[in-house]
Amino acid sequence: MALNVRAPDPATPLKVGVLISGRGSNLQALIDACRDDAMPAQIVAVISNNAEAAGLGRARQAGIPTHIVNQQDFADRASFDTVLDRALRDAGANFVCLAGFMRLLTRDFVTAWRDRMINIHPSLLPAFPGLDTHARVLAAGAKFAGCSVHFVRFETDTGPIIVQAAVPVRADDTPDALAARVLEAEHRAYPLALRLVAEGRVRVVDERAIVDARPPAPEFILNPPEA
Ligand code: GRF
Residues 170-223 pLDDT 10s: 999 999 999 999 999 999 999 999 999 999 999 999 999 999 976 667 778 888
DSSP string, 54-114: HHHHHHHHTT--EEE--GGG-SSHHHHHHHHHHHHHHTT-SEEEESS--SPPPHHHHHHTT
Residue 148 Cβ < 6 Å to ligand 1: no
What is the predicted pLDDT for the residue at 224? Answer: 81
Q: Looking at the structure, tell me whether residues 187 and 92 fall in a common domain.
A: no
* Domain match, 190 and 107 both: no
Residue type at 163 in one-letter notation = V
Residue nearest to atom 1 of ligand 1 (CA): 100
pLDDT in tens, 10-48: 578 999 999 999 999 999 999 999 999 999 999 999 999
pLDDT of residue 1: 43
Residue at which a domain ends, from 63, 98, 113: 113
Q: Is residue 99 part of a domain?
A: yes
Ligand 1, atom nearest to 55 Cα: 12
Which of these, 95, 119, 117, lies nearest to 17 by C-alpha position? Answer: 95
Q: Give the residue numbers spanning the domain of 132.
A: 120-227
Residue that finishes a domain, picked among 55, 88, 113:
113
Domain check: are 65 and 143 in the same one? no
Closest to 178 (Cα-Cα) out of 122, 222, 223: 122
58 with 125, same domain: the answer is no
Query: Could you report the per-residue pLDDT of 110-151, keeping only the tens digit for each?
Result: 999 999 999 999 999 999 999 999 999 999 999 999 999 999
* 137 and 210 part of one domain: yes
Q: What is the pLDDT of residues 73-92, one digit of tens each?
A: 999 999 999 999 999 999 99
> How many CB atoms sit inside 10 A of residue 202's CB?
24
Nearest Cα to 76, choosing from 111, 113, 104?
104
CA 120–ligand 1 middle distance (angstroms):
7
Tell me the sheet residues that pair with 96. 17, 117
One domain, residues 163 and 104 = no
Other CB atoms within 10 Å distance of the CB of residue 104: 11
Best of 26, 117, 157, 182 for a ligand 1 pocket test (most atoms within 8 Å of beta carbon): 26
Describe the strand order of the beta sheet including 95-98 as a list of residue ranges.
66-68, 41-48, 14-20, 95-98, 117-121, 144-151, 161-168
pLDDT in tens, 12-21: 899 999 999 9
- CB of 23 within 6 A of ligand 1: the answer is yes
Q: Using the predicted structure, report yes or no on whether residue 2 has a pLDDT greater than 60.
A: no
106, 49: one domain: yes
Mutate to test the pocket of ligand 1, among 128, 178, 183 (most ligand atoms within 8 A of CB): 183
Q: 26 CB less than 6 Å from ligand 1? A: yes
The pLDDT value given to residue 6: 61
Q: One-letter amino acid identity for 151?
A: F
CB 29 within 8 A of CB 190: yes
Name the residues annotated as catalytic: 121
- DSSP label of 138: H
Q: Specify whether 127 is located in the same domain as 218.
A: yes
pTM recorded for the entire structure? 0.95
